[in-house]
Chain A
Amino acid sequence: MTQHQNHHGGRLERGGRLDRDQPIGFTIDGTALTGYAGDTLASALVANGRLRVGDSIYLRRPRGVLSAGVEEPNAFVRVNGEHNESMLPATTLELRDGLDVTLLDGIGVLDDRPDRNEYDKMHVHADVAVIGSGPAGLAAAKEAASGGARVVLFEQDFELGGSLLSDPTITVADQGALDYVASVRAELEAAPEVTVLTRTCVFGSYDNNFLVALEKRDDVASAEGGVSRQRLWHVTAGQVVLAVGAFERPIVFSDNDVPGVMLASAVKTYVERWAALPGRDVVLFTTNDSAYETARCLTKAGATVTVIDARPEVKAATSAQEGARRAGLTVRTASAVVGIEGSEGVTGAFVASIDDAGQLAGDAELIACDLVAVSGGWTPNVSLHSQRQGQLAWDDVLSGFVPSAGVKNQFVVGAGNGTYDTDDCLIEGARAGRGAAAAAGFPASSSADGGDAVAESAEVWRARQHRAAGTVRPLWAVPAPDGSLDTHFVDPHRDNTAADVLRATGAGMRSVEHVKRYTSISTGIDQGKIGGVNTIGLLTQLLSGNDTKAIPSGQPGQDAADAVELTASGQPARRPTPGTIGTTTFRAPFTPVAFTALAGRGRGALFDAARTSPAHSWHVEHGARFEDVGQWKRPWFYPQEGEDMDAAVARECRAAREGVAFMDATTLGKIEIRGADAPEFLNRMYTNPFLKLPVGKGRYGVMCTVSGMVFDDGVTLRLADDRFFMTTTTGGAAKVLDWLEEWSQTEWPELDVTLSSVTEQWSTVAVVGPRSREVIAKLAPDLDVSKEGFGFMEFRETTLASGIDARVCRITFSGELAYEINVPRWYGLKVWEDVAAAGEEFDITPYGTETMHVLRAEKAFPIVGQETDGTVTPHDLGMDWVVSKTKEFIGKRSFSRAAFTEPGRKQLVSVLPLDHTLRLPEGAQLVEPDALGDYTGEGLPTAPIAMVGFVTSSYHSQALGRSFALALVKDGPTRVGQTLLASFGGKFAEVEVREPVLYDKEGARRDG
């Protein structure tokens, strides 16, 4: 390898888009090399005479740089740094000072050190998004911008120009190609509404012109700290112009993967853009005219070129073949490269004549060379078009799948549309730019004629494309003298050959999707950019017309007419074409995107909003431990010096049951419901009646799903005849609002109801315990807090002593006398502190969710999501009283179904471990004492053991002085008094079934 690497050309003295005053040092596999600003890693390697890259993944064959772009299947590196990044193609990696890379053999290595870089996201609306900055894209952007439209031009390369960068000597719009690029760039940058994004690849195209793009910003990021390294752009575009170019195809022949076999267009790009000569003695093997440009530029750079043209002699003086001969090149027609000499690098090419059928027509001759440039034809880059379900059709003359029908509000132009003539690209691009601008409401100001007249009809334009493309003679696989197909690489990245495709068809595979999966072709990093069409071409040779009946329709690019003809006649007349087969599906991303770039800033605390109440700072200062409930951070308990959770919870419970305690209830969901039909609406949503709830009162309600399962619960206040204030569970707020909206909008649009979430507008403090009345009396002096004056489930609007307007309710979730003070969120912290101050003389104690859970469990108040799991009805919870027998409501119908009336339903009970200190794990299963058989808890039982229920909640009760649990048990109420076994972690414990409510059964404490 070392011996070979310097045979190749190297850097040319002149030319290229390089800043030769800015040499750049970089390291590859420990070897220090130099390139220039403007290089990619691949061009710097080529300039250093190194085409050889890592080995192939499975066959471990030596590989070389094949391309100069995103389609590269071989040259993958790991970039070493603070966080190594693997599997980056050398062909798209901008050369940077100090770049340190390791060549990879087809498999990456993930770095377990954290990536400390920042990644961010942008959202833009564009009138016109132009993707690609070759001649077609530039012309489109220029026209689109001329009328003042907001245009965003995306280019994945770090330079604008696309193919023009490799064609610097041609004339474009009466200027040198690069002058044209510079002038359009200047014009675009001067336009206030235009954004030009280089290093930005649009990799996904979704419905309604929603584009996703990745911008690489290493240049900015390394210069300034605190700047994102990559940025994900979300683009909503009125109009999209796809000007994304085409990929050149390799040719499938024996040993076509040896380093030194390179795409002809890539050779040209290395020479013209980077003044890097990949080889001095070149065999150029082509199926079409385009590669003659490569021959021309190689000759100019001092290389010798022998052209091997698969096509027969074209005698016309204007033919590319004759032109090359006139320029002094050797041109061999009706011939093919049939093999390569060399393994670490090309030392020669075997060339033989081929007949009309593509079969060998003579012995192979060895031509010494150090580079074989290949051109198998061109494949328009249709990924983004096809991601949007844009149609494709095989065009035999262009020898490629081309867009055949547009996508709404999109234009496809340039080589991506099969337009290969630069002037035509300008015409087509300008026309699309004007069309897009007009459609977006900003007609182009430019008077440029742009040749609209030239192509009124698609057919006329197609003919023009065909003329420009010349004749292509695709060779889907060039026979080897020994007949083998084993080293005819179709997908070099995946190490798949023509022999693999042959095996696939032999196994019965007919669909291109099956061939892909049988072989793994097109599943690698280039996702079929290199091997996709060649595989389809091969299939046309391997399958008979009859075989194609089993080819399903529906693949992109499939010729619908073909399918009909084949199935109707039963006996297909002709051989399949690529259009009979179609392509595999194009999917985002067009080029790979780092996971972390998609994560963006949505990590750590920003992964999901953490919602906190206005009193959060107080909770933190008072040592609260927090629990995640939905998005909320709720105080869980407030341990004091030396207390563990149990001690803290016991103290908090005692305060609530014996004195006074307070809890932050701000997190409950709150929905305001207005409208003349609001009572009717609520009456249908809740299982219990709401029509006659008087103003000034609240009512606890339960909502069910259509299948009758408890969905949410909470208290709703009637503020006015047409105005209600609903509370929901903390975690259920958004779900409930969606649910209400769905019914209101889709089922009962005739009802006059408006719903607004007001969770964020209110802050709520629950003041709980026998002495809560005294605290409230101090806080709200205007309020008659007496038992008679302020009844249970009533609320009052009042002004607190502090001057703050408040809504005070008498609601309890603990069974104790309790009040809830609701104030506008802004005053939340102040009122919380006021409660603490007013309660100080009563030793008021803050409590968290754990204590709340214990208190409510002692009273058997269920928690939706804990006592319920989507299979529990209100009746199962012992709440028959909450289900109306007379009115209609959501879920009602289900209650009459068999499964709801038959025995065997799991119903709420409490279970008391016989061991008073044992706190059962929540989730423990319950079985009947004799159900275990000989199962001891060791390992697994040999046959399933019947379960009769499970523990939903389990605590130590301060009030009862023992542990207790709630459980859902089959026919629970009938089992009261029975003993069951709780099963957990391979252990069993006896428990007694009891009625659910264990504390204050009579409800005597509610009114204080």
Chain B
Amino acid sequence: MSQRELPQHPDFLWTNPDPKKSYDVVIVGGGGHGLATAYNLAKHHGITNVAVLDKGWLAGGNMARNTTIIRSNYLWDESAAIYETSLKLWETMQEDLGYDVFFSQRGVLNLAHTMQDERDSVRRVEANRLNGVDAEWVTPQQVKELCPIININDDIRYPVMGGTYQPRAGIAKHDWVAWAYARRANEMGVDLIQNCEVTGFVMDGDRVVGVETNRGRINAGKVALAAAGYTSVLADMAGFRVPIQSHPLQALVSELHEIVHPTVVMSNHVHVYVSQAHKGELVMGAGVDAYNGYGQRGSFHVIEHQMAAAVELFPIFARAHLLRTWGGVVDVTLDASPVMGLTPVDQMYVNCGWGTGGFKAVPAAGLAYAHTIAHDEPHPLNRGYGLDRFVTGALIDEHGAAAVAH
């Protein structure tokens, strides 16, 4: 489709019912993860008496704010398994959901700028390949061939020393993905309830039996948390703690330009990543703001620094214009891997901690989380991701070694 065609959403997406008195499963949080979970419950487990509650507008949290990078070239086996399952699901999502989500497998390049970057990159590539994930180490010259607008000269402070490339990786349109799940879930009987903030839990002993909301009490057989950065607040209400810190993470776009950028480029060392969306806007992000907070706003110096990196790497961007900045609240665990599994509360489940990179995980997380809820036990994909790892110390540290956000 040409960049001068504005694709249209379907004529009908979802109904807006009042909450019923009771559901088999109440999912708290209508982001990508909550919606995909509802879809999977209905589709694969025959559980359709489900409500997805969101305090705001549906998929208006991080799901509406991310830079949509999808890849599976994670370092550790557990990560490779879940993200690669996800990537395979992305490859069939359009047919599965009957919605063109603009999944574009344009490849993702992760640049290396230091010798340690290079070591880490090679390590990750070799691990990826043995895990069945497509990945290659590319030289600066190959980087240039993949993305001709990148400056690979050494006239910049941290010249490009090469990179890793995953050809099957890419981007999609976030709203379209969320709405695709929402529409199908709704068709199968799931109630999508917006403007419905969970303010407390109704307990029967150790077991959760409902939620209190600004729209009244809703009884629930099971309660599944999918509230990203707000999970700590909800867990607190339920009487347990989750090891996440919430940080602002910003992103930005330019106005529309004729397409010049064929792939997705990420550089952790100089802190910028960028793709050019279907319509032609440059979509960019950087690292998290250092402080913790629930304000969906970040600091401007982060953006200035990222722009310097962007213009260094892509001289052609010099006079693209910053059109809009925004921020989300990302839920970062200490090992930069998610938390998915059972909780200390009976019939309550948790899925959070996806931090800066949970968009790509939406399809697989929906699959695994629905399984966890339906069977009251983790799916093989999330067995290593339980809360207990913070007690046993069996961390899956994607921070240190991979050190690639998003």
Contacts and interface: CB of A to CB of B under 8 A. Distances in A.
A508 B114 contact: no
Interface string B102-122: 000000000001111011111
A589 B325 contact: yes
Nearest to A517: B175
Among B3, B5, B9, B137, the one with the most A-chain Cβ atoms within 10 Å of its Cβ is B9
Contacts of B393: 707-708, 894, 897-900
Interface stretch (A90-98, A237-245, A775-783, A938-946): A938-946
Contacts of A494: 6
B10 A107 contact: no
Contacts of A940: 129, 132-134
Interface string B300-326: 100111011111100111111111111
A570 B214 CA distance: 12
Contact of A607 (B15, B158, B214, B326): B158
Interface string A975-992: 000000001111000000
A593 interface: yes
A15 interface: no
Interface string A727-756: 000000000000000000000000000000
A603 B126 contact: no
B315 A115 contact: yes
A111 B57 contact: no
Interface string A515-559: 001101001110100000000000000000001011111100000
A275 interface: no
A607 B157 contact: yes
- Give chain B's interface residue range (CB within 8 Å of chain A): 35 or more
B235 interface: no
Contacts of B56: 511, 552, 554
A707 B400 CA distance: 13
Contacts of B122: 921-924, 984
B308 A599 contact: yes
Contact of B312 (A210, A508, A585, A603): A603
A581 B227 CA distance: 24
Contacts of A950: 123, 126-127
Nearest to B81: A944
Among A84, A554, A598, A610, the one with the most B-chain Cβ atoms within 10 Å of its Cβ is A598
Among A629, A900, A944, the one with the most B-chain Cβ atoms within 10 Å of its Cβ is A944
A595 interface: yes
A552 B194 contact: yes
Interface string A858-882: 0000000110111100000000000
Interface in B380-396: 389, 391-395
Contacts of B193: 550
A960 interface: no
Given A109-B258, A110-B319, A552 B57 contact: yes
Interface string A939-974: 011111101001110000000000000000000000
A514 B58 contact: yes
- Give chain A's interface residue range (CB within 8 Å of chain B): 35 or more
Contacts of A927: 130
Contacts of B270: 607
B331 interface: no
A110 B126 contact: no
Contacts of A610: 157
B255 A608 contact: no
A603 B400 contact: no
B10 A592 contact: no
Contacts of A508: 12-16
B242 interface: no
Contacts of B3: 107
B324 A587 contact: yes
Contacts of A107: 3-4, 256-258, 280
Interface string A96-126: 0000000000111111101100000000000
Interface on chain A toward B: helix, strand, loop, or mixed SS?
A: loop
A1003 interface: no
B308 A947 contact: no
A942 B132 contact: yes
Interface string A584-602: 0101110011111011101
B403 to A, nearest CB: 8
B107 to A, nearest CB: 16
A109 to B, nearest CB: 5
Contacts of A596: 307, 311, 317-319
Interface string B357-394: 00000000000000000000000000000000101111
Given A206-B300, A603-B308, A870-B399, A944 B77 contact: yes
Contacts of A587: 324-326
B321 A595 contact: yes
A984 B311 contact: no
Contacts of A109: 257-258
Given A57-B4, A607-B156, A608-B157, A870 B123 contact: no
B260 A110 contact: yes
Contacts of A74: none
B389 to A, nearest CB: 8
B195 interface: yes
Contacts of B18: 549, 570
Contacts of A608: 157-158
Given A112-B315, A115-B319, A592-B255, A944 B308 contact: no
A805 interface: no
A518 B120 CA distance: 41
B315 A517 contact: no
Contacts of B127: 925, 947, 950
B316 to A, nearest CB: 5
Nearest to A387: B297
A606 B308 CA distance: 10
Among A86, A506, A986, the one with the most B-chain Cβ atoms within 10 Å of its Cβ is A86
Contacts of A898: 392-394
B88 interface: no
Interface string A907-950: 00000000000000111110100000000000011111101001
Given A58-B5, A112-B149, A513 B60 contact: yes
Contacts of A322: none
Contacts of A108: 255-258, 320
Contacts of B401: 869-871
Contacts of A897: 391-393
Nearest to B16: A550
A106 B311 contact: no
Contact of A595 (B157, B194, B307, B326): B307
A276 to B, nearest CB: 27
Given A513-B64, A871-B395, A947-B127, A594 B319 contact: yes
A507 interface: yes
A951 B118 CA distance: 13
A503 interface: yes
Contacts of A58: 4-6
A599 B319 contact: no
A628 B323 contact: no
Interface in B58-97: 58, 60, 64, 77, 80-81
B13 A509 contact: yes
B26 to A, nearest CB: 17
A885 interface: no
B194 A510 contact: yes
A509 B183 CA distance: 12
Contacts of B55: 552, 554
A453 interface: no
A506 B304 contact: no
A766 to B, nearest CB: 21
Closest 9 CB pairs of A and B: A870-B400, A923-B122, A923-B123, A592-B321, A897-B393, A511-B57, A899-B393, A550-B16, A869-B401
9 contacts: A517-B64, A549-B195, A592-B322, A593-B322, A607-B156, A871-B395, A924-B123, A925-B127, A952-B119
Given A594-B321, A604-B156, A947-B130, 10 more contacts: A107-B280, A110-B257, A114-B318, A517-B64, A552-B60, A593-B322, A921-B122, A923-B120, A927-B130, A945-B131
